Chains A and B, each alone.
Chain A
Amino acid sequence: MESKILVKEIKKYFYSKKGIVKAVDGVSFDVREGEIFALLGPNGAGKTTTLRILATILKPDSGEAFINGYNILKEPEKVRESIGFLPGDTGLYHRLTPSEFVEIFASLYGIPKDIINKRKKEVFEALGIERYSKTIIDKLSQGTKQKVLLAKILVSDPPILILDEPAQGLDVVAAKLIEEYLLKLKKEGKTILISTHIMEQAEYLADRIGIINEGKITYIGEIENMREKTGKKTLREMFLTLLK
């Protein structure tokens, strides 16, 4: 199967008075078409920096990566047109309404207004946020805000989704709704890269898992292979074993 995301030896170091932080230190992996790939790691492992690089927000110090066949350094515009990025711990434009927010960002993808409106209606209904479409975002709950962010990506309908902690701050019901929606999107052929530290979520959603720690990938493979390799039963145990 074709790799929709291909990451080769990317490095990103941050320099400060305290010294060098090797946020990403030679990370390589790929995400195949129609696959959900979960990047699993503890806090500060390099998940967010890796995803920011793939979303062209940060430039890698070395290495290369391709999204939908486009080089992230040479063709960042094409990369951005191919992805829907959900940053972790992100905020929202609190003075806009969900309808305005989604419409504006979808139109940046060059989607005609009538199609945007049609998709917006479908997605808002599917995520249960249609009644908030004209409410100022500032007045919405955290869960609804997260759904609005997801709606923004879904209305834009890019082939690749890069989601940093997509269920962050959500209650179980809202998290479940989003997980089901991601599985639906996978069935529709979307390629999805998520970062998470929630083991159950990774186990439920991911076709393959990449474990990252201290800026390095320590394992890539399917959960079954992880079991064989570690001899552990739960993903938590497997994760802790493979982290080292």
Chain B
Amino acid sequence: MKALFKKEFLDVLRDKRTIINMIIIPVFGIPFLMVFMGGIMSKSIKELGQKKYKIGFYEKFEFKEIRDILKDLNFEIFETNEPESLLIKKKIDAGIVVDKKEDKFFVEIIYLIKKEGSEFARIRLKKALDLFKEKLFNEKLEEKGIKPKELIPFLLSERGIEPPEGFFGFFFGTFLGYIIVILMVTSAMYPAIDLVTGEKERRTLEILLSSPAGINRIIISKIFVVTVISFITAILTTISFSITLLKSGFLMEEGISQISIFKVISIKEIIIISSLIIPFAFLISSVEIAISSYARSYKEAQSLLTPLTFAVIIPAFYSLVPSVSFSPYHFLIPVLNIAITIKKILQGEFVLIEYLITLFSNIFYMLIAFIYSVNTFKKEKIIFRV
């Protein structure tokens, strides 16, 4: 077995595609993507916050102070009688209509729903006008000799006491399970194809099959090597994802860069998650090796394995849906069970029975996939399919 492992590892680790999927994407791809995305997001939010919004101003009755205060707050005022149609034509970011009924001013903000710039303009307008309204209100009270503070029945304040690692863990847990399962499947794909279909295509399989290694040891070593690669990808993904989250300021929360990774994910949780990932990696490897055994060429193997990616993405994505409450039956569904169990563990919602259902169902699927994979590989009609 040692010689077979050596052969498979040497062969597959010298394949650039394996290195890219196993190391480059988790170690460099994820941080780059997150830093890049984080950078774009924070830049975009900053720009939206500082932007000089163009406001269509329709004064049915003059309210000069409003116009002045909006100008002071860096809004560009554009006089118009038709703010709504200008808004639809996207010539302004938002509109204000000033009207007066029975000696009372009515100020209406008009904005385009779900249009980012318009939504931001609305938020800033509302904040400005609320403050202005409060200022006028207080002035009127003072004119009448009433101190505004005396009218307030109680003072309301907010104080968040959620520890930063709790919030971090929530975010971390939500996405880590999803990312891990997807990358484990994709990273196992190339070595699985290379070690089986690649051997067929390069016509090296006969050398191997006629050696004293024996077909069982040959297929087991192939599954084992792909499992190791998939597992390493999961580990590297976890490390890379957590370090990037902690150090890049992706969450834009103060103090997060000071948190130790072990405050977010304990050694006990790492062991529990690893116990789930190992049979899952074995399951994926067995399935991918079985599919690759059937394929005649690299191209065919890729076509056959592509649906598997979708079969993984859909349940994995379902784990991200926030409002779904999962029943014990959900923990029997492969891929979904891994993603939601990891999510719950990292969000501090570990439930033993859910963990056990996930673990044993994956061990069961792993055994079935393993037996199927070995039997597929042993079939002459499949392995020498022309």
Chain A residues, Cβ within 8 Å of B214: 76-77, 80
Tell me, rounded to whole Å, the shortest Cβ–Cβ distance linking B272 to chain A.
37
Which among B22-30, B81-89, B201-209, B277-285 touches the partner chain? B201-209
Query: Of A58, A89, A108, which is within 8 A of B213 by CB?
Result: A108
Q: Is the pair A95, B15 in contact by a Cβ cutoff of 8 Å?
A: yes
Decide yes or no whether A241 CB sits under 8 A from chain B: no
Interface centre among B15, B204, B207, B384 (most CB of A within 10 A): B207
Decide yes or no whether B349 CB sits under 8 A from chain A: no
* Contact of A108 with B380 at beta-carbon distance under 8 Å, contacts A57-B209, A93-B11 already known: no
Q: Place the interface of chain A in its size category.
A: 20 to 34
Q: Is the pair A87, B212 in contact by a Cβ cutoff of 8 Å?
A: no
Q: Is the pair B206, A80 in contact by a Cβ cutoff of 8 Å?
A: no
Q: In the complex, A109→B214 CA distance in Å?
A: 11
Q: In the complex, A90→B380 CA distance in Å?
A: 18
B33-54 interface (Cβ within 8 A of A): none
Q: Is the pair B212, A93 in contact by a Cβ cutoff of 8 Å?
A: no
Which among B1-9, B67-75, B109-117, B323-331 touches the partner chain? B1-9
Q: Is the pair A105, B380 in contact by a Cβ cutoff of 8 Å?
A: no
Contacts A95-B14, A96-B10, A104-B4 supplied; 7 other A-B pairs, CB < 8 Å: A57-B206, A58-B384, A93-B204, A108-B3, A108-B211, A108-B213, A149-B207
Chain B residues, Cβ within 8 Å of A96: 7, 10-11, 14
Chain A residues, Cβ within 8 Å of B4: 104, 108
Task: Return the CB mask of B177-217 against A: 1 if under 8 Å, else 0.
Answer: 00000000000000000000000001110110111111000
Query: Of A80, A91, A95, which is within 8 A of B203 by CB?
Result: A91
Q: Is the pair B210, A57 in contact by a Cβ cutoff of 8 Å?
A: yes
Q: In the complex, A18→B331 CA distance in Å?
A: 48
Decide yes or no whether A94 CB sits under 8 A from chain B: yes
Q: In the complex, A85→B4 CA distance in Å?
A: 18
Decide yes or no whether A52 CB sits under 8 A from chain B: yes
Which A-chain residue is minimally distant from B383 (CB atoms)? Answer: A57
Q: In the complex, A214→B3 CA distance in Å?
A: 40
Chain A residues, Cβ within 8 Å of B203: 87, 89-91
Task: Return the CB mask of A84-125 against B: 1 if under 8 Å, else 0.
Answer: 010101111111100010001101111000000000000000
Chain B residues, Cβ within 8 Å of A144: none
Q: Is the pair A104, B212 in contact by a Cβ cutoff of 8 Å?
A: no
* Contact of A94 with B207 at beta-carbon distance under 8 Å, contacts A80-B214, A100-B10, A104-B7 already known: no
Task: Return the CB mask of B301-336 against A: 1 if under 8 Å, else 0.
Answer: 000000000000000000000000000000000000
Q: In the complex, A94→B203 CA distance in Å?
A: 11
Chain A residues, Cβ within 8 Å of B211: 80, 105, 108-109
Chain A residues, Cβ within 8 Å of B11: 93, 95-96
Query: Of B6, B209, B212, which is within 8 A of A77 by CB?
Result: B212
Q: In the complex, A92→B202 CA distance in Å?
A: 7
* Contact of A104 with B6 at beta-carbon distance under 8 Å, contacts A93-B11, A95-B11, A95-B15 already known: yes
Q: Is the pair B3, A107 in contact by a Cβ cutoff of 8 Å?
A: yes
Q: In the complex, A83→B3 CA distance in Å?
A: 18
Q: In the complex, A242→B384 CA distance in Å?
A: 32
Tell me, rounded to whole Å, the shortest Cβ–Cβ distance linking B195 to chain A.
11
Q: Is the pair A85, B212 in contact by a Cβ cutoff of 8 Å?
A: no
Q: In the complex, A1→B11 CA distance in Å?
A: 43
Decide yes or no whether A168 CB sits under 8 A from chain B: no
Decide yes or no whether A151 CB sits under 8 A from chain B: no
Q: In the complex, A159→B26 CA distance in Å?
A: 49
Q: Is the pair A85, B10 in contact by a Cβ cutoff of 8 Å?
A: no
Decide yes or no whether A56 CB sits under 8 A from chain B: yes
Interface centre among A85, A95, A104, A105 (most CB of B within 10 A): A104
- 9 A–B contacts from the bound complex (CB under 8 Å): A57-B206, A76-B214, A83-B210, A91-B203, A93-B11, A100-B10, A104-B6, A104-B10, A110-B212
Task: Return the CB mask of B325-369 against A: 1 if under 8 Å, else 0.
Answer: 000000000000000000000000000000000000000000000
Q: In the complex, A109→B211 CA distance in Å?
A: 8
Chain A residues, Cβ within 8 Å of B209: 55-57
Interface centre among B203, B209, B380 (most CB of A within 10 A): B209
Query: Of A91, A105, A152, which is within 8 A of B202 by CB?
Result: A91
Which B-chain residue is minimally distant from A95 (CB atoms)? Answer: B14
Query: Of A58, A77, A90, A109, which is within 8 A of B207 by CB?
Result: A90
Decide yes or no whether A203 CB sits under 8 A from chain B: no
Which A-chain residue is minimally distant from B7 (CB atoms)? Answer: A104
Decide yes or no whether A186 CB sits under 8 A from chain B: no
